[in-house]
Amino acid sequence: MTPKNKINTRKAILLRAYVVFALVGSFSMFIVYSIITLQNGFDEEFSIEQQKKNTRIKQVYGIRGNIYAGDGSLLATSIPTYDLIWDANADGLTSKAFTSKIDSLSNQFSKEFPKRATVTGTSQFGGTASEWKYKLTSLRKKKIRYYILQKDLSFDVVKRLKLFPLFWMGKFKSGFWFEEKGKRMYFMGDLAKRAIGYTKNGVSVGLEGAFDSLLRGKNGQIMEQRMPGRIWRPIQVGNHQKAENGYDIVTTLDVGFQDITQYALNKALVENEADHGCAMVMEVKTGAIKAIANLKRGTDGIYYESQNYAVSEFSEPGSTFKIISAMSLLEDQYAKPTDSINLKNGRVRYSKDVEFTDGDHYDSRNKFYTLQRSIEVSSNVGISQFVWKHYQKKPQKFIDHIIDLGLNIKPNFDIPCSNYPVVISPKSNGWSGVALPSMSIGYTSQISPLQTLMIYNSIANNGKMMNPYLVKEILQDGKSINKIEPKAIKEKICSQETVKSLQSMLAGVVSRGTADEITKQCKFTAAGKTGTSKINENGKYIEKYNASFVGYFPTENPQYTIIVVINRPNKKEYYAAKVAVPVFIEIANKIYSSHIQIQPALVTSRITEAPYVLNGNQQALKSVLNDLNISSQSTQPTSAYVEAQSKGYAVNLKPLNIQANVAPNFKGMGLRDALQIAKIIPVKITFEGYGRVVSQSINAGTNVSPSNTIHLKLSPAK
């Protein structure tokens, strides 16, 4: 190659090098420029996209409010529970760490969660050490991410798990982490379960549903930024909204009354093999509902709180309605309690196909009944004849009394219902020639047990109708923000003279009428009315009945009104006197004996013997005993839970031995204290019955774990 060619070749190479260098330099400057632009947010669109990837809005949930009984006892609350989740493919979990700890970890898991879950419960997976090792190893090989190993763990269990092998390394090096969530807890089992209610899958019932907007509070939100290692931390920019916890509501329910009412109702339903029933206790002066029980027989023969019959079942009330007929006659001055009517041999026909009879109530020796006696013995012929005689040509006047009592509209009650009462009039399509006499004895119209209770409570309250209510106070962070005061719907449902006559009639029902069994079995005076009505199915009356009784006590100064309804008793007895009255007697007797303020003054100044006392919380026991002026002696005043032994005029309190992972002695204890102690152990509890614990499935002193379940059998103290 000539020197000239060599020079040209060199120039060409240099030129190419300069070009490449220029291109590389230009590209580098573009990259630097782009980086500077992005870092300074000059590319707004890209900046927004990056922000979306590295920040997020996280929902923060407010804690749902509590529901309390009238005495402050907790009926429902939300507690934190945790799901144990494992990321088997976590970036920080090395094969060396996993292999070295899998045996010890599996062994620890087998002790904490030894059994597989066979029914719906807290455990997602459980087993022996070898089963746990196989499960964890399989998840690791398959690189399964975010697998839920356990559900609904308590905080105590979480604390123990954090000490397990691998756990102490943290979330990103072990893959184990806990997701917190809220779980609704109900502390009274089936007591007032339907009244307390629930919200689930868009369905809201009871107080939980009616006050859902207050109880659930308001959710908030925070902005979080993504950090290295997939860690998210809150940042103080962006959209923040603090979560607000829900309000607490305090009910008028009395836990003792509720226990008494539900037990008595359940007992009657079982004895009579009835389909369902309800019972309510109302405070006369205020309209406060102190107890509300609704039970229906399940396919297994056991009765459950499944529907709110007391509020939402509108049906023909039967003879409890007759007091309204008497009130109309008295108020219009068409009759006095002493006026008589011809019984027509205990049978009267108002149409070709409809005949009213008195059956067992007819006394062939008497051809006439007074209005008073017609109520006392629940005479269909007597009451219908009185009403027919005076309202036959002006039935609307009779209907107006029913409407004036508000029986044609739903009561304004804390628990809403979707059903409606039925009160027909002469202008209605269903009106017929027998509608008036049928209405007079409790047929044709359809009203709820709550409405019937309101009428009788008004009579007990000297004519003043109170609005029934179940919530008496709303709290926010423990402070009262709204107290619901008793409210009168009507100051007078009728004249004072009429009220006194009605009170006398209802007292006569108990002293010498269809409910005279109350006088025989109660140490106090009472007044009320029985009701037995045939059930209408598809327009035809069948040989099935509703048995009811509604009354109040004591008559000198009425404190409580009680209604009991037993639907479709399937044994020989179906009359209210035999089916519903015994429930009233049991409820009223127990309320009377346990509430000194409604009893006459005691002659003696001290009790002759200390009463039976349940084992339980020492502080609570001492408080009650002090209020009753009963001496108590404690061998260990600092012990949280004690065994109570009544001796003479005093009660000795001995400490109960409560140890972690050891079954305690639950016998002689109330359910509430048993559930509290079970959290300390900890151990699962199931139960049946009411009252005090009489037996337990795992003997005291036996070693237990959180996966064990102790079944408690409860029975009322005798």
- Rg, Å, the chain Cα set: 36
Q: What is the structure's pLDDT at 316? A: 95
CA distance linking residue 627 with residue 320, whole number of Å: 40
For residue 459, is pLDDT > 90?
yes
**So what's the pLDDT on residue 387?**
96
Highest averaged pLDDT of the listed ranges 189-198, 226-235, 566-575: 566-575
- CATH topology for 255-598 is Beta-lactamase (3.40.710)
- The pLDDT tens digits of the residues spanning 232-250 come to 566 665 556 777 788 899 9
Query: With 50 as the cut, is the pLDDT of residue 123 above it?
Result: no
The answer to whether the peptide bond before residue 554 is cis (omega within 30 degrees of 0) is yes
Determine which of 168-182, 399-413, 431-445, 496-510 has the lowest per-residue pLDDT on average. Answer: 168-182
Tell me which residue has tokens 């309510």. Answer: 280
Give the pLDDT confidence of 364-376 residue by residue, as tens digits. Answer: 567 889 999 999 9
CA gap 121, 187 in Å, rounded = 17
CB burial of 426-465 (b: ≥16 within 10 Å; e: otherwise) equals eeeeebeebbbbbbbbbbbbbbbbbbbbbbbbbbbbebbb
Q: How far is CA 5 from CA 2, 10, 11, 16, 18, in A?
A: 5, 9, 10, 17, 20
* Contact between residue 443 and residue 533 where contact means Cβ atoms under 8 Å apart: yes
The rounded distance, in Å, linking the Cα atoms of 686 and 701 is 18
pLDDT at 151: 86
pLDDT in tens, 140-175: 999 888 888 988 888 888 889 989 999 988 888 888
Res 93 pLDDT > 80: yes
Task: For residues 109 and 167, give the distance between their C-alpha atoms in angstroms, rounded to a whole number.
Answer: 12
What pLDDT does residue 360 have? 60
Indicate if the pLDDT at residue 185 is higher than 80: no
**Res 227: pLDDT:** 59
Give the helix, strand, coil percentages of the chain, each rounded to 5. Answer: 35, 25, 35
pLDDT at 121 over 60: no
- Average of per-residue pLDDT values in the chain: 84
What is the domain partition of the chain in residue ranges? 3-42, 58-251, 255-598, 616-715
Predicted local confidence at residue 48, as pLDDT = 53
Closest to 193 measured CA to CA, from 204, 212, 206: 206
Q: How confident is the model at residue 211 (pLDDT cuts 50, 70, 90)?
A: confident
Q: What is the pLDDT of residue 61?
A: 67
pLDDT digits (tens, 9 = 90+) for 541-580: 888 999 999 999 999 999 999 999 999 998 888 999 999 9
Confidence of residue 606 (pLDDT cuts 50, 70, 90): very low
Q: What is the pLDDT of residues 61-88, one digit of tens each?
A: 677 888 888 888 888 887 778 889 898 8
Most confident of 76-80, 216-220, 393-397: 393-397
Residue 6, pLDDT above cutoff 60: no
Mean pLDDT over 100-112 rounds to 91
Q: Give the model's confidence band at 495: pLDDT under 50 very low, under 70 low, under 90 confident, else very high.
A: very high
Highest mean pLDDT among 116-125, 193-202, 355-364: 193-202
Question: Of 691 and 590, which is predicted with more confidence?
Answer: 590
pLDDT recorded at residue 117: 43
Task: Read off the amino acid at residue 657.
Answer: N
Strands (DSSP E) contained in 257-402 are 276-283, 289-297, 303-304, 340-342, 347-349, 355-357, 368-370
pLDDT of amino acid 637: 65
Half-sphere exposure in the Cβ direction for 385 (13 Å, CA): 26
Residue 118: what pLDDT? Answer: 37
Looking at residue 107, its pLDDT comes to: 92
Query: What's the confidence (pLDDT) of residue 325?
Result: 97
pLDDT at res. 359:
67
- Name the band, by pLDDT with cuts 50, 70 and 90, for residue 383: very high
- Taking residues 25-51, report their average pLDDT: 61
Instruction: Give the whole-angstrom CA distance, residue 102 versus residue 315.
Output: 65
How buried is 36 (Cβ within 10 angstroms: 0-12 exposed, 13-18 middle, 19+ buried)?
exposed
Q: How large is the average pLDDT for residues 340-352? A: 86
For 443, the token pair is: 């047929």
Shortest CA distance to 466 belongs to which of 426, 419, 412, 430? 412
Which pLDDT does position 245 carry in this prediction?
A: 81
Is the Cα torsion angle 391, 392, 397, 401 positive or negative in sign? positive
List phi, psi (to 5°) of 132: -65, -40
Q: pLDDT per residue over 617-630, tens digit each?
A: 777 776 676 666 67
Cα–Cα distances in angstroms (integers) from residue 529 to residues 166, 335, 411, 500, in the given order: 71, 20, 21, 16
Find out if CATH 3.40.190.80 is the number for domain 58-251: no
User: What's the half-sphere exposure (Cβ side, CA atoms, 13 Å) at 181?
Assistant: 11
pTM of the model: 0.70
